[in-house]
Amino acid sequence: MDEEQYVPGKGPLGARIAIVGESPANVEIQTKTPFSGPSGKELDRILKDAGLNRSDCWITNVCKYWVPPASNIEGVKPIPFQVRAKNHGIDLGEQIQDLQRELNEINPNCILALGGTALWAATGKTKISN
């Protein structure tokens, strides 16, 4: 993998809340900071509404490398994250092990999984209703 595209998790060790997304976007690769682009502004707004400070949270992604997005073409079924990662040469099993080590080190009280991929990586569940 191209180490220039690696975006590590950030936040205080021992953070009580860990926020996990899917994979970094292009702007996050440039800044080396998870959720630093438009999605970061939305996350900051949501955290503020909840009375939380981003600086108190550990913020990371399931995969620390960019994964091509799912298809946005109308009528075309989106390609699952696991398939997109594999097709891009990413060992998702290794990425999930790294995420588990990372979360064990931080030892948060709560993990906020942002999206289906983060939910699956953190719990093995594929639907929030499960």
Give tens-digit pLDDT for 27-44: 999 999 999 988 899 999
Residue 3 has pLDDT above 80, yes or no: no
Q: How confident is the model at residue 53 (pLDDT cuts 50, 70, 90)?
A: very high
Distance CA 124, CA 97 (A): 13
- Mean pLDDT across the stretch 2-28? 92
SS3 19: strand
What proportion of the chain, given as a percentage, has pLDDT over 70? 95
**C-alpha 52: how far from its chain's center?**
19
Give tens-digit pLDDT for 75-98: 778 889 999 999 999 999 999 999
pTM for this entry: 0.90
Beta strand residue intervals within 16-115, DSSP E: 17-21, 57-61, 110-113
Q: How confident is the model at residue 1 (pLDDT cuts 50, 70, 90)?
A: low
Distance CA 63, CA 94 (A): 9
pLDDT at 94: 96
**CA trace torsion 16, 20, 25, 31 (10° rounding):** 20
Residue 101: CB atoms within 10 Å: 10
Q: Which domains are delineated in the chain?
A: 3-123 (3.40.470.10)
Residue 18 has pLDDT above 90, yes or no: yes
Residue 6 has pLDDT above 80, yes or no: yes
Which one-letter amino acid corresponds to residue 10?
K
